[in-house]
Amino acid sequence: MSVRRAPSARPSPDHGPSALWTPSRRALLAGAAAAAAGPLLAACGSSSGGSGGGGSSSKTVTLGSNGSDAVPKKAYAALWAAAGKSTGDTLKVNVKQHENFQNQINSYLQGTPDDVFTWFAGYRMQFFAKQGLASPIDDVWQTIGSHFTPAIQALSKGLDGKYYFVPLYYYPWAIWYRKSVFKQHGYTIPANWDQFTALLKKMKGDGLVPLAFGNQNQWPVMGTFDQINFRLNGYQFHVDLMHGKESWTDARVKKTFDMWASIMPYHQQGAAGRKTEDATGFVRDKKAGMIVAGAGTAVQQFTTDPAALADLDFFPFPEITPQWGMDTVEAPCDGFMMSKSPKNKTGATKVLEFFGSPAGEKAYLDLDSSELAAAKDFDNAKNTALQKKEAALITGAKNLTQFMDRDGNPTFVSTVMIPALADFVRSPNTFAATKLSNIEAQKKSIYASS
């Protein structure tokens, strides 16, 4: 887990961003701005020193949420309401558009973070914890710890071994299809790469788009890379690659891209202009045979049509190297973190304890059945057959990964891998030979400097 990173990047906890300027310089700037804005600012004599910290008497807990879509929005609303009822605090929620939330995370956490905010498990969480932008929540985990398996517990810890994350739900990545389509054409679930490629060929012959594909948001394509890479090269190599310990010029990475390139002709055209949810729509409408996707994306496209939803099924990405079998499942986990100096720490702690309880998970999952509860003692009786199958897939896995943008360094993934993978989709056949050394060069410079 040790990613090379200068320890000096950690700010002293009690100063935060306000320690940025030496007093004279800061006073100068503040004074200049105040003078510039004249009466508008003059009234505001109070210094900005530190961000709250006190305010213990407040009964309000603020909460930043990326759940802007209709389904999660409703489910989160139910969760907030239940948490408010359980803790007696007032929850003030700040909902931002899903991708805006992620894009802004850096400035948001340094600027005016809410007490509690939605985030993702994995290095993506540890990265911000390490920079002192989140509070350790070991006390929360003393209360909720017993609800989670050791795997989930490990997922919730920062690089320093402290807890920083309260999981809410997770969901597996897999290959989704309609049972009736498979039945109609007599397809069988492919168990290995050869059967998979044969199936792709057959689907194309039958006039179907073999693999629906939409990459407008630029992250979905990472899912396919992850699947092929850990099936081909094993969990450990994949994780080491994500953590910057293995080289992108390694022959094994090249092999991953070569295999992927060989099935690119079976991917739906026009991916860059299509949203992954619209691509899923092609599977729903029986125009495409399969899609590599996360459970949430897949299920939500089917919810409007109960008959289609009953027809939806999935299978894990087929085996490539027999040594690894299908031992790894990509199961991203979403949950909550506490910002570095919440205004109402006691309230935030109580709220997080509720989020990590089976009652909290139930409040959310009752309204969003496309995900799986992270708690092991959650009452699964109401789960759909599909959810039960998803849960079995995850519990049967030897290793769990999150996702490239959750397992890797955020700077590297967002500025190097996103354009690089888009480049691969554009010209898959020449990519591995020409672009991998550049990825490695950029990786080195980013990992060395951050």
- Residue 38 is a binding residue for another protein (CB under 8 A): yes
Among 1, 4, 14, 35, binds another protein (CB under 8 A): 35
- Residue 147 is a binding residue for another protein (CB under 8 A): no
Residue 274: CB minimum distance to another protein, A? 6
- How many residues at the interface with another protein, by CB under 8 A? 98
Among 53, 54, 111, 145, binds another protein (CB under 8 A): 111
Residue 445: CB minimum distance to another protein, A? 6
Binding to another protein (CB under 8 A) within 182-211 occurs at 209
Residue 237: CB minimum distance to another protein, A? 24
Q: Which is nearer to another protein, 119 or 235 (CB)?
A: 119
Binding to another protein (CB under 8 A) within 403-422 occurs at 410-412, 414-415, 418-420, 422
Binding to another protein (CB under 8 A) within 69-98 occurs at 69-72, 94-98
Among 76, 80, 108, 193, binds another protein (CB under 8 A): 108
- Residue 274 is a binding residue for another protein (CB under 8 A): yes
Among 29, 81, 198, 392, binds another protein (CB under 8 A): 29
Q: Which is nearer to another protein, 238 or 343 (CB)?
A: 343
**Of 140-148, 152-160, 245-253, 294-302: span binding another protein (CB under 8 A):** 294-302
- Residue 37 is a binding residue for another protein (CB under 8 A): yes
Binding to another protein (CB under 8 A) within 310-369 occurs at 343
Q: Which is nearer to another protein, 34 or 359 (CB)?
A: 34
Q: Which is nearer to another protein, 274 or 350 (CB)?
A: 274
Cα separation, 297 vs 258, in Å, equals 27
